[in-house]
Structures are given as structure tokens and as C-alpha cells.
Structure 1
Amino acid sequence: MRSIISLELLKNLQDRGLIFWMLILPILFTVLFISVFTTGTEGVAREQVILSIVPGYTVMFVFFITITMIANFIKDRELGMTARLASTPLPPYKYLLGKWIPYMYIVFIQIVVLFLFGKIVYDVPLEQPFFLLITSLLLTFTVTGIGLALSLLVKTNNMGIAITQVIALGGAVLSGLWMPIDMMPSFIQTFSKFLPQYWTHQAFQQGMEGSMELSELLLPNTVLLVYGILAFTIAILRYPAFLKMARG
């Protein structure tokens, strides 16, 4: 399993396209939308916009890691790598963990870099770093878990890209990552509470401004944990069918 982790990390660190998707593009979008939505605003109003956009766009862009995960799983399947590994004594869950864990590292680094960017450039407060750390780790677990499940479910790269767009962009709109959730229709506000993006955004905002109580940390992180466990369960159940499609 360690060799799989090392190989996946090496491949992704050499992928310049991944750096663009995970760091450069989120930073560009953050700068652009903050400049647009803070035009003509000052003081507290400006700070609130920034406090919404920085964590909001962080949450939205971490979901794009699923595109890379899907592409790599399909590539391994088509090149026969999956079949060769399946012929070894390596248990399926260790294969999946070996492919999964490197992306956890990548997403966590992405979150840290985007938060540091917000802190350095826009002086975003990070009043409760421990709460932010816990939520970041669970968000990493959930997002990559969803990516793992999708990697074993979809059959083509194009299908994976389409589903990722729906989850990332659709979830962003419905969860209040683009605009305050209070401005949305009541039925969307109700629906948003079933989405991990909504709870993560709320937890990040409260943790940044220092208004979260320890008891309030439980609900958003429980939602993230449930989504992550459900996704990994789906991946385990889907693996035999995925293996049947593998060449070799």
C-alpha cells in the first residue's frame, strides 16, 4: 500500500494541470469576485463579503479533485494496472486506501494554502484554528471519499467531469457559497441543510470569526463524517464491478 501512496503522490506532484485547478484558479476566482462584490463597500460590510467568499470558494474548489481522481482510476483500469494489482495478495481495501490517501494530502494542502492566502492578502481572521483544523480534515476526508466513490462508479472521463461540475458548482449555488444563503428562496435554504458544502461553509465562517462553541462543531463535522463513510462504503461495494471492467 505504501508503494501505491508514494507513486500516486509522485504522479500528482508532477502534474502542473493539477496545480492550476487546485491553487491558481481558486486564487484568481477569489480575487476577482472579492473585487466585484466589495466595490463600493467599506468597513464591516466589506469584511463580511470577504469572510464569505474566502471559505466559500475554498469549499467549492476542493471538489474539483474528483476530476483528477476519476481520470487516474480510469487510466489504471484501461492500462491493466488495476487487474495486475488485483492479482497480488493486496486486499481491495488497501488498494483503495493507497489510491485515496495521496489525495487527502493534496486537498488538505490546498485548504491550508487558500486560507493562508486569505489571511495574508485580505487579513481574514482565523480566530479558532483548532476548530478550522478539525473541519478541514473532515472536509478532506469527505471530498476525497466522494471522489473515490465516483471513480469506481463512472465509466468515462467526460461523465466524471460532468458529475463533478454538478456537485461542485450546483452544490456551491445551493449551499450559499456564491451568495448569502439568507438571500435564497426558503425551499433552497431547507435543501441546503442536506449538503456538506453548506455545513462546511458555516463552520469555516464561524471558526474564522471566533463565534463557534465546541458543541456547535459537532453537527457540521458529523455531517461530513457521515458523507465520507457512506462514500467509502459505496467504493468498497462497487470495487468488484470496477475490477470486471479492467483490462488484463
Structure 2
Amino acid sequence: MLRNILFIAKKDFVYSLKEKTLLIWLFVMPIVFFGFIGSTTSGFSGNSTQKTNIAVWEAFPGQTEESPIAKQIVYRLQQENLNTIVFNEKNDAEERKYHFENYTRKLWFPKNLQIDFDSGKQIQIQYKSTASGLTQDRDSFFIEKAVYQTIGDFLVFKKLNADAEQTNFDEVNNLPKNLELQVSSAGEKLDIPSGFNQAVPGILVMFIMMIALSSGAQSLFLERQSGVLKRMAASPLTRKEIIMGKWLGKWFITLLQMIYGMLIGWLIFKIYWGNHIVSIILILLLWAAFNSALAVLLGSFAKSEGQVSAIATIFSLLMAALGGCWWPIEITPEWMQSLASVLPTGWVMDSMHELMYFGGQITEIMPQILALAVLSVIAFFSAVKRFRFF
């Protein structure tokens, strides 16, 4: 029995490698995707030293220079590593690459900011942002901090210059710091992966699924349409041997994709797979087994090549995006993190991040491994039940 299964798997594997399109997707496209996605997501972790831009709208030209309060708020924003770009009706109408509305973060100063402040009236400063998740929380914190610091600066100025008629924060800004806060990590700093550290494992997970569902399912569908499976059913081979052989053949293809992707990640993109590489390989083997079973299942019930291609592409891309293959799931909104926690792609990516970047141990990802193993078994038996020879 085992000999027949291996014979079918070997033939299926070798036959698949004769397809030029498959070879391109196996060996060329991963490098392209690793490079493109890795270079475009290098700043997603939030650890970049590059300043964040914030557009500040003056109610009238020169407000941030003439109004001490507005000027001090801008100063405090700059101290929080924010790059302030000041706009007003005059300069925003000029020909320039970016206008006020083009910015992700926008802050509006009211017209009577200084007058209302001096008279003790309540002031409303408007802020809008299209950022989300941790980035939005961080930006809001910096802006609130800048406003409260400005109020504190004003109180210090009044204490030093009780009789002053004009507010000038220069003296306050140049005061020596009597209190210095030293901050250090209580343990090892865990940085959210970005760039190639995120892209290579994530895209590899996506490609294992995509290769299995597209090439694997389509080859099985074509064999069913051309009568190859029907002739195999008439041979001395048992139904179980044929199904397991086909599944194993698809698994060999995904195994080749896994080995190649990990080697390319290490040699070209300098990915360190961590001290738990054996555990990572185990996770990817289970992931490959699950998708190989899905390929057999899809190839059995599909009614056309177009249906196979559409389902494989849409399902793979959707699962990759929602599971954290394209970007670190840790930077996304809570609802998306919750969704990823119930998706197979989310289990794989969470396990790999934990082992590669967050110092986790194999015991910490056992729930994900068990869930993936159970799902693989369910997918396999579903494929066996739905398998069709014609």
C-alpha cells in the first residue's frame, strides 16, 4: 500500500514540475514578492526613527508665530518627534506637491485661540487622523501631551513673571531640567517585525496556500476532466491509495516551496529563522498538509478551471490579508487581531512571530499547533469523502 501511495505521489510531483507556469510561481515570484512587500512595509512596526508629519491649520496667516499659545503647542509637538507643516488659506492655495487635506494627521487652531485663552474661556482644538490601531493611539497621546505641557509651561511662566503682560515661552523652554526621568526596559525589548522580517515568513505562508490551491487543485481537476482519474480507478489501485497518493504529491510541491522560500529568505534577505527552526518547520509542514488536503477537496468539487482559479486566488489573498501575512497583525485594530486569532493563517503567523521575534517557546504555541493539526485532519477526511474520479 505504501509503495503504491509513494509511486502515485512521485508521479504527481514530477508531472507538476513540468508546468512552466508553476516553476515561475515556485522559484521566481517568491523573490519578487519578498522584495516588494518587504521594502514597502519596512516602517509598519512603528520603530522607525523617521519623524511623523502632522499638518497644522492656522486660522489666519502667521497665527503660529503671533500667538504664544499656538507657537508653544507647535514647539511641543516638535519635541515629540512630530514634523509640523503649517498651512493657512494663503499658502495652501499655492502650487505645491501636498496640500493640507492630503495629510493623514491634521490639527486645526481656532481663530480666537489666544484671546479665549487669555480670557479664561474654554478652547476646542480639532484633530483628525486616518491612522488606526496603535499608531492612532500614539499620535493622540503625543498631541494631548503637547497641549497639557503647554498649559504647564504657561503656569511656570506666570510663576516666574507674575507681572508680565505678554507671554513669552522662550525663558520656560530654556530652563534647566531639574528632574530627569530615566526609562529602561524591565526585560527584553520585543519589537514588532517589519520589512523583510515580516514579509518573508508572511509571503511564504501565502505562497504555500496559493501554490497548493491553484496548481494542486487545477491539476487534479484536469485529470478528472481528461479521464486520467477514471482510468486509475479501473486499475488495481485502491481508492485510498489514489487519494493519499494525490494528497502526498501536492504536499511534496508545497514542501519544495517551503524549503526554497526559507533558503531564499536566509541567503538573500538575511532572515534568521530563530533558535526554534525545527518548531517552525513543523508548523509549516502542518500548514502544507492542510492546504494539500484543501487542494484535493477543491479539485474534486470544482466544475471548471475558472472556478478553481477564482476560488484559489480569492481565498488565498483574503486569508493572507486577514491572517497577518502582508503586514504585522500586531499593528492592526483589535477587531482584525480577533479575526486573525480564529483563522489558520493567523495561527501560523502568530506561532512564527512568537518563536522568531518574541522569545516564545514551543509550549506557548501548542494550542495553535493542535488546532492546525485537527483542522488538517478534518480537511483530509473531507477531501476523502468528496473525492470524485469523474
Q: Normalising by structure 1, what TM-score?
A: 0.89
In the alignment, which residue of structure 2 is the partner of 1:235?
383
Question: Once the 2 structures are TM-superposed, how far is the Cα of residue 200 of structure 1 from its aligned partner?
Answer: 0.7
1:219 paired with 2:219, answer no
Instruction: Name the count of aligned residue pairs.
Output: 242
Shift of 1:171: 0.6
Give yes or no for contact 1:203–1:220 (8 Å, CA) kept in 2.
yes
| Pair 45,191 (structure 1): closer, same or farther in 2 beyond 3 Å | closer
Counterpart Cα distance in 1 of 2:192 and 2:378? 38
- Check if 1:58 corresponds to 2:204: yes
For 1:122-141, what aligned pairs fall within 5 Å after superposition? Answer: 122-127=269-274, 128-141=276-289
Select which of 244, 258, 275 maps to 1:111: 258
Aligned position for 2:161: none
Residue identity over aligned pairs, in percent, reads 22
Match of 1:7 among 11, 24, 29: 11
Q: Which residue does the alignment assign to 1:161? A: 309
Q: Which residue of 1 aligns with 2:73?
A: none
Equivalent-residue separation in structure 2 for 1:30 and 1:41 (angstroms):
20
Provide, for residues 32-56 of structure 1, a one-character-per-residue CA deviation record: whole Å limited to 9, x for no partner: 12222337957x9796432211110
Q: Is the 8 A contact 1:21 1:64 kept in 2?
A: no
Is the contact between residue 200 and residue 220 of structure 1 (CA under 8 Å) also seen in structure 2? Answer: yes
1:96 positional shift: 0.8
Structure (1/2) with the larger helix percentage? 1
Query: 1:19 aligned to 2:23?
Result: yes
After superposition, give the CA deviation of every residue in 1:52-101 in whole Å (9 maximum; x if it has no partner).
Answer: 11110001111112111222112211221111111233221210111111
Give the whole-Å Cα distance in 2 for the aligned partners of 1:153 and 1:41. Answer: 48
- Tell me the TM-score normalised to structure 2 length: 0.58
With CA pairs under 8 Å and 6+ residues apart, which has the higher RCO, 1 or 2? 1
C-alpha displacement of 1:196: 0.9
Q: Distance in 1 between matches of 2:268 and 2:234?
A: 51
Aligned-residue offset at 1:103? 1.9
- Between 1:209-218 and 1:197-206, the stretch displaced more is 209-218
> Which residue number corresponds to residue 93 of structure 1?
240
* Structure 2 unmatched runs, 5+: 50-189
| Paired amino acid for 2:42 | T
More strand by share: 2
Q: CA deviation at 1:126?
A: 1.8
Q: Name the residue aligned to 2:150.
A: none
CA distance in 2, matches of 1:47, 1:5: 37
Aligned mates of 1:45, 1:217 — CA distance in 2: 19
CA RMSD of aligned residues (A): 2.3
Q: State the Cα deviation string for residues 93-124 of structure 1 (Å, max 9, x = none).
A: 21011111122122112112112212122221
Change (3 A) 1:167 1:19: same
Q: Distance in 2 between matches of 1:83 and 1:95?
A: 11
CA distance in 1, matches of 2:383, 2:28: 30
